[in-house]
Amino acid sequence: MLIAGYRKAWLSSMSIYYKSTRDDNVKATASQAILKGLAPDGGLFVPSEIPALDKSLEELATLSYKEVAYEVMKLWLDDFTEEELKNCIEKAYDAKFDTTEIAPLVKADNTFFLELFHGQTIAFKDMALSILPHLLTTSAKKNHIDNEIVILTATSGDTGKAALAGFADVKGTKIIVFYPKNGVSPIQEKQMITQKGDNTYVVGINGNFDAAQTGVKNIFSDKALEEQMNKAGFQFSSANSINIGRLVPQIVYYVYAYSRLLADGVIKAGEKINVVVPTGNFGNILASFYAKNMGLPIAKFICASNENKVLYDFFETGEYDRNREFVLTTSPSMDILISSNLERLIYKIAGNSAVKNTELMSALKESGKYTITSQMKEQLVDFYGNYATEAEVADTIKTLYENEKYIIDTHTAVAATVYEKYKTQTKDETTTVIASTASPYKFTRSVMNDIDSSYETMGDFELVDELCRLSGVKVPQAIEEIRTAPVLHDTVCETNEMSAVVQKILGI
């Protein structure tokens, strides 16, 4: 008895739990945090402690993507059994990806592009959203939840389609996606409004991404609605990048990229690399930061912004200020003024202080800005922020195509531009991985216009064929599909009507 009791205490001290960035007393297991998405107090779930990799880098270098995924995710989702987690991984990283490598590293211009766009919607969101539905339904089972799970998501373009594709026809779920009607690319919109599946709903709003995101957050924190939903047998969850079920699968590909560089003899075990991440909501780059905290040798996190350069200003000055003009750019998935996942970094550099974090987040809500202390700022030495103008993005795409015949999308081009600026300023020659977040086919018109402005007169699908000719890369299935697909969703609403639209869809 004694030993059993001791063992139990020892086991529970070994496991991690999740707490809110705004209240230390809000605690959840991994599966509960996945189900909830956002903490009830509006904070984000963070681990009680960041787990350390328990395999050596050399061992990791011998593993496949799926095996690395297991080694990383088991440490974060430690209330999942081995069988449950492996089952989720098997269902996610299968033939939906057009390469068994899942996330290939491509060398161009002396840098490594980590292509995260080989999933079914050809953007990096697939990396996490192909597994989230399985993590979520497994979490529901583990916690004896009988309610139908309603995924509510605001998207700046790519999350929406990736979430729709991930959840379409997954039993026990419905998914409702809000997107800024005039703030996504034509192909992004076409991809969403042609989505099949009886449980999928797509709604355009007359407002920008931040308005959509705020609307969704308000619906989540509406206690009366929650009760009403519960009575009708529904409960909300989030597929947005604030869900740890999104964040954790994104840590995997940084570990995998490192393991490939090691396996290929590009670096020695323990040698540091830099990562460059085209950033919007701060989820992807935060995952790389967590990877480093797990023990992955990363030197610099190069945070690339487009003309919505709130993060660049933040890293320069320590002041986060969203009070500025919102710019529509050719990298719409990064047109964001409130980077939600930054809250997790703020919490960490505040010494895991929910009190300090809450103070700053309240200031953000009330005045649209906050300033971190100099002590907090000192902890950001590994971060380098910069931004790319639209003209610079165009030039980067054109130059890389002309020199290397490698065509990147507009988001990845923001990263490549910022990396050039970093190298010019620092002369740092460290081996560098650029997160390549979308296929150029997803932003064909912008990409082709950047290569040659005379393409302007061509139709969308003529451009697709021309891109195929120039790049020699086969047209992805995701694009072939929408050539002829019928529009299945045409609801548009004002931002203050979002809750009513949700209630109408659910019939409550």
Catalytic residues: 125
Using CB under 6 A as the binding rule, whether residue 37 contacts ligand PLP is answered as: no
Min dist. Cβ of residue 488 to ligand PLP (A): 22
From residue 432, alpha-carbon distances to 278, 383, 415, 451, 479 in Å are 14, 14, 12, 25, 30
Which of 84, 230, 79 lies closest to 145 in space, CA to CA?
230
Give the number of residues in contact with ligand PLP, rule: CB under 6 A: 17
Min dist. Cβ of residue 243 to ligand PLP (A): 12
Which of 65, 30, 70, 33 lies closest to 53 in space, CA to CA?
70
Using CB under 6 A as the binding rule, whether residue 388 contacts ligand PLP is answered as: no
- The counts of H helices and E strands in the chain are 23, 16
Between 240 and 471, name the residue whose CB sits nearer to ligand PLP. Answer: 240
- The pair phi, psi for residue 21, each rounded to 5°, is -70, -5
Considering only residues 397 through 436, tell me which ones interact with ligand PLP, judged by CB under 6 A: 411
Dihedral (Cα; 306, 391, 411, 425), 10-degree rounding: -70
Using CB under 6 A as the binding rule, whether residue 208 contacts ligand PLP is answered as: no
Between 111 and 156, name the residue whose CB sits nearer to ligand PLP. Answer: 156
Using CB under 6 A as the binding rule, whether residue 28 contacts ligand PLP is answered as: no
Min dist. Cβ of residue 436 to ligand PLP (A): 9
How far apart are the C-alpha atoms of 22 and 45, rounded to whole Å? 9
Between 160 and 225, name the residue whose CB sits nearer to ligand PLP. Answer: 160
Considering only residues 147 through 176, tell me which ones interact with ligand PLP, judged by CB under 6 A: 158
Considering only residues 271 through 330, tell me which ones interact with ligand PLP, judged by CB under 6 A: 278-284
Using CB under 6 A as the binding rule, whether residue 259 contacts ligand PLP is answered as: no
Cβ 357 vs Cβ 347: under 8 Å: yes
Largest Cα span, the chain? 79
Between 60 and 73, name the residue whose CB sits nearer to ligand PLP. Answer: 73
Min dist. Cβ of residue 271 to ligand PLP (A): 26
How far apart are the C-alpha atoms of 292 and 345, rounded to whole Å? 13
Between 154 and 176, name the residue whose CB sits nearer to ligand PLP. Answer: 154
Considering only residues 120 through 139, tell me which ones interact with ligand PLP, judged by CB under 6 A: 123-125
Q: Is 275 left (phi over 0), alpha (psi -120 to 50) or beta?
A: beta
Interface with ligand PLP by CB under 6 A: which residues? 123-125, 158, 241, 278-284, 333-334, 411, 437-438
